A and B are shown apart, each in its own frame.
Chain A
Amino acid sequence: MSSIAATRVQRELKDINSEECSGQNIRIELMNDQFEHLKGEIIGPPGTPYQGGKFKLSIHIPETYPFNPPKVKFETKIWHPNISSVTGAICLDILKDQWAAALTLRTVLLSLQALLSAAEPDDPQDAVVAKQYKDNNSLFYKTAKFWAQIYAEAPGPTDTDCMDKLKKVTEMGFYRDPSLRALSSNSWNLADALDNIG
Chain B
Amino acid sequence: CSDDYEDDEEDINNYYNNNEDDFADSEEEDGDSTSNNNDIKTSNNNDINQSGIIMTSKLEHFSSKTMTVSETNEFLWKDCDKASVVLSITPAMSRLVLQASKWKLAVIKTRLYKTNKPNFLESGLQNATNSKSIEKVKSSRPKVCGVCLETLHRSKLLALNCGHQFCDGCWKQHMVFAVKDGMSQGIPCMEPECTLLCHPDFVKQFYPVNQDSPLETAYKTHLFRISVSSHYQLRFCPGVDCTSVIYGEKPKPRKVQCLTCKTAFCFECGTPPHIPTNCETIKKWLTKCADDSETANYISANTKDCPKCHICIEKNGGCNHIKCSKCSHNFCWMCLGDWKNHGNSYYECSRYKENPRIASKNSQTQAREALKKYLFYFQRWENHDRSLHLEAQARSRIQTQIEEKVNSNQGTWIDWQYLLRAGELLAQCRYTLQYTYPLVYYAETGPEKALFEYQQAQLEVEIEGLAWKLEHAGEYQRGDIENQMDVAEKRRQTLLARFVTV
Interface residues of chain A, those whose CB is within 8 Å of chain B, are 4, 7-8, 11-12, 64, 66-68, 94, 98, 100-103, 107
Q: Would B192 and A67 count as touching, CB distance under 8 A?
A: no
Identify B190's interface contact among A94, A98, A101, CB under 8 A: A101
Measured between C-beta atoms, what is the minimum distance from A5 to chain B in Å?
Answer: 10
**Contact mask for chain B residues 179-219; partner A; CB cutoff 8 A; 1 contact, 0 none:** 00100000011111110000000000000000000000000
Given the contacts A67-B173, A67-B174, A67-B177, A100 and B149 also touching, CB distance less than 8 Å: no
In the complex, which residues of chain B have a beta carbon less than 8 angstroms from the beta carbon of A101?
A: 146-147, 166, 170, 174, 190
For A107, what are the chain B residues with a Cβ–Cβ distance below 8 Å? 192
Which residues does chain A contribute within 8 Å of B148, judged by CB atoms? 4, 7-8, 66
Kindly identify which residue among A11, A67, A94, A103 contacts B149, using a CB–CB cutoff of 8 Å.
Answer: A11
Contact of B274 with A by CB under 8 A = no
Which of chain B's residues have a CB closer than 8 A to the CB of A7? 148-150
Contact B173 A100 (CB under 8 A): no
CB distance from B174 to the nearest CB of A (A): 5
Docked complex Cα distance between A68 and B177 (Å):
8
Taking CB atoms, residues of chain A closer than 8 Å to B146 are: 101-102
Asked if B194 and A100 sit within 8 Å, CB to CB, the answer is yes
Which of A8, A66, A101 has the most B CB atoms < 10 Å from its CB? A101
Is there an interface contact between A8 and B193, defined as CB atoms closer than 8 Å?
no
Given contacts A102-B164, A102-B166, contact A66 B147 (CB under 8 A): yes
B residues contacting the other copy or chain, number (CB 8 A): 21
Contacts beyond the supplied A64-B177, A67-B147, A67-B177: 13 A-B pairs with Cβ under 8 Å = A4-B173, A7-B149, A8-B147, A8-B148, A11-B149, A66-B148, A67-B173, A67-B174, A100-B188, A101-B170, A101-B174, A102-B146, A103-B192
Interface residues of B in 107-158 (CB under 8 A from A): 146-150
With A101-B190, A102-B191 as contacts: A12 and B173 at CB distance below 8 Å: no
CB distance from A185 to the nearest CB of B (A): 22
Please, could you name 18 A-B residue pairs with CB atoms under 8 Å apart, sorted by A? A4-B148, A4-B173, A7-B149, A7-B150, A64-B177, A67-B147, A67-B174, A67-B177, A67-B178, A94-B192, A100-B191, A100-B192, A101-B146, A101-B166, A101-B170, A102-B146, A102-B166, A102-B191
Q: List B267-312 residues whose CB lies under 8 Å from chain A.
A: none
Distance between Cα atoms of A67 and B188 in the complex (Å):
11
Query: In this complex, what residue of A is CB-closest to B184?
Result: A97
Within the complex, the shortest CB–CB distance from B160 to chain A, in Å, comes to 13
Query: Would you call A100 and B177 a contact (CB within 8 A)?
Result: no
Q: Chain A residues near B189 (CB, 8 Å)?
A: 100
Partner of A102, one of B147, B169, B177: B147
Distance in angstroms between the alpha carbons of A64 and B176 in the assembled complex: 10
Chain B positions within 8 Å of A, measured between CB atoms, are: 146-150, 164, 166, 169-170, 173-174, 177-178, 181, 188-194
Nearest-Cβ distance from residue A55 to partner chain B, whole angstroms: 23
Distance (whole angstroms) from the CB of A132 to the closest CB of chain B: 26
Q: Which residues of A contact B194 (CB under 8 A)?
A: 100
On chain B, the residues within 8 Å of A4 by CB distance are 148, 169-170, 173
CB distance from A131 to the nearest CB of B (A): 23
B-chain residues with CB within 8 Å of residue A66 when the two chains form the complex = 147-148
A8 near B192 with CB under 8 A, answer: no
Instruction: Please measure, in the bound complex, the distance between the C-alpha atom of A107 and the C-alpha atom of B193, giving whole angstroms.
Output: 13
In Å, the complex CA distance between A103 and B194 comes to 12
Question: Once the chains bind, are A12 and B188 in contact (CB under 8 Å)?
Answer: no
CB neighbours of B147 from chain A (8 A)? 8, 66-67, 101-102
Q: How far is the CA of A103 from the CA of B146 in the complex (A)?
A: 8
| C-alpha spacing A107/B173, complex, angstroms | 21
Distance in angstroms from B471 CB to nearest chain A CB is 58
Q: Tell me the smallest distance from the CB of B405 to a CB of chain A, in Å.
A: 65
A12 touching B174, Cβ below 8 Å: no
Residue of A nearest to B180 (CB): A64
Point out the residues of chain B lying under 8 angstroms from A98, CB to CB: 192
CA distance A67 to B176 in the complex (A): 9
Q: How far is the CB of A198 from chain B (nearest CB, A)?
A: 21
**When A64-B177, A66-B147 are in contact, do A100 and B193 touch as well, CB less than 8 Å?**
yes
- Which chain B positions have C-beta within 8 A of A64? 177
Rounded to whole Å, the gap between the CB of B222 and the closest CB of chain A is 16
Which B residues are CB-close (under 8 A) to A103? 192
Complex CA gap A107/B181 in Å reads 23
- Interface contact A12-B149, CB-CB below 8 Å: yes
Please indicate the chain B residues that have their CB under 8 angstroms from the CB of A67 in the complex: 147, 173-174, 177-178
Residue of A nearest to B194 (CB): A100
State the Cβ distance, B124 to closest chain A Cβ, in Å.
14
State in angstroms the CA–CA spacing of A66 and B173 once bound together: 10
Give complex CA distance A4, B194 in Å. 23
User: Min CB distance, B172 to chain A, in Å?
Assistant: 10
Minimal beta-carbon separation of B166 from chain A (angstroms): 7
Complex interface: chain A residues within 8 A of B166 (CB): 101-102
A198 to B147, CA, bound (A): 45
- A39 to B: closest C-beta gap in Å: 21
In the docked arrangement, what's the CA distance between A102 and B164, Å? 10
Measured in the bound complex, the distance between the Cα atoms of B233 and A23 in whole Å is 57
Within the complex, the shortest CB–CB distance from A117 to chain B, in Å, comes to 19
CA distance A64 to B150 in the complex (A): 17
Give chain A residues whose Cβ lies under 8 Å from the Cβ of B190. Answer: 100-102
Complex Cα spacing A107 to B148, Å:
15
CB-defined contacts of B169 to chain A, threshold 8 Å = 4
Complex CA gap A68/B174 in Å reads: 9
- Among A68, A100, A103, A107, the most chain B Cβ lie within 10 Å of the Cβ of A100
Q: Which residues of A contact B170 (CB under 8 A)?
A: 4, 101
Q: What residues of A have a CB within 8 angstroms of the CB of B149 in the complex?
A: 7-8, 11-12
User: Shortest beta-carbon distance, B11 to chain A, in Å?
Assistant: 38
- Complex CA gap A64/B179 in Å reads 13
Complex: chain B residue closest to A103, CB-CB: B192
Nearest-neighbour CB distance to chain B for A2, whole angstroms, equals 9
**Chain A residues in 8 Å Cβ range of B178:** 67
CA distance in complex: A11, B173 (Å): 19
- Nearest CB in chain A: distance from B319 CB, A: 35
